[in-house]
Amino acid sequence: MKKTILYFALMFLTVGYNSQARQTSDGRQLPADRKDTVAFQSGYLLVNGIKMYYQIHGSGQPVVLIHGGGSTIETTFGRVIPLLARHRRVIAMDLQAHGRTSDRNQDESFEQDADDVAALLKKLNIAEADFFGFSNGGTTTLQIAIRHPEMVRKMVLGSALAKRSGVPVEFWDFMSKANLDNMPKELKDAYLAVTPDTAGLRTMQRKDAKRVINFKDISDAQLKSIKAQALIIIADKDVIEPAHALEMQRQIQKSQLAVIPGLHGEYIGEVTTLKQGLSSQADFVVPMIERFLDSTD
């Protein structure tokens, strides 16, 4: 149990392509050696005082992906983006201080991340979308549904935390000891691959840890106020307590719960879960997500 908790704690401070990029005349970045034919664009937009990096893959109904703590677009969603982009316009971004996005002179917060994502989407002329947030990104997705309900059609909450009681009490002690040395190597390498700045990496890790340590519950009233349909996903070896996920499912009026075999993030092929080889969970989890998003119920 303790090993599992430590693993999740580090993930909380929690793979597509890293090819060199070329730019179009309007400043959008395109990969130099992209071989598939799915539409792709990327770039930066000034959002609430930070320079936010984003990617758009594919076409169709928009789905917005929000990565986990300590992560980048690719480390969280690199496995599933090509699958979702076959039928959807996939919008993903690096959040404050993460990956290619700049920092601001204030602590991270889930509320600020929610406002940043909403502002980015408005600049991209996206008034409404589906959302898929993982881990810290799942908690940010909850805040988007609370603070910007008009933007959320449906949402997928992957291993999202809403209450401090949603994880074992030992988790908080592990988090108090989190530092750059025990951060997963895959996440450190991914950050430095796109932003070779060790000081920036250290700042991101420190801010992520502080945000989790100081986490405050999302109130029952706020959860019950959410009107969007939700699919809540956890793993059977997740540190998120099953009782917590079930209680969240009961409080969000139009929600359902799925428990998937595996570790935290294994069901989407999150990069730190690939040490034992490519997991197959995403092959059935992504179709499940697509059925939920496409249903008219």
Sequential DSSP letters for 70-81: T--HHHHHTTTH
Print the domain residue range for 171.
Answer: 2-14+36-294
Mean pLDDT of 140-152: 98
- Taking the C-alpha atoms of residue 34 and residue 224, their distance in angstroms, rounded to an integer, is 44
Residue 4 has pLDDT above 50, yes or no: no
Mean predicted confidence (pLDDT) in 48-68: 98
> What CATH number has the domain bearing residue 95?
3.40.50.1820
Which pLDDT band, with edges at 50, 70 and 90, does 277 fall under?
A: low
| Residue 10 belongs to some domain of the structure | yes
Is pLDDT above 90 for 172? yes
Compute the distance between CA of residue 155 and CA of residue 230 in angstroms, rounded to an integer. Answer: 5
CA proximity to 297, closest of 224, 229, 226, 223: 229
93 domain-assigned:
yes
* The pairing of beta strand 229-235 with beta strand 152-158: parallel
Tell whether the model's pLDDT for residue 279 goes beyond 90.
no
Q: Does 19 reside within a domain? A: no
Residue 53, beta-bridge partner list: 44
First to last CA, the chain: 38
Q: How many domains does the chain have?
A: 1
Is 177 within the bounds of a domain?
yes
Q: Is residue 23 part of a domain?
A: no
Residue 21: its pLDDT value, please?
Answer: 34
Which are the contacts of 182, defined by CB distance < 8 A and separation ≥ 6? 10
* pLDDT (average), residues 210-236: 97
Asked, for residue 255, whether it belongs to a domain, the answer is yes
21 belongs to a structural domain: no
Q: How much is the average pLDDT of 223-234?
A: 98
pLDDT value, residue 281? 87
Q: What is the pTM of this model?
A: 0.88
Please report the pLDDT score of residue 9 as a whole number.
41
| Residue 230, pLDDT above cutoff 90 | yes
pLDDT at 297: 76
Q: Is residue 119 part of a domain?
A: yes
pLDDT at 13: 39
**Which of 33-37, 61-65, 258-262 comes out lowest in average pLDDT?**
33-37
Distance CA 272, CA 265 (A): 8
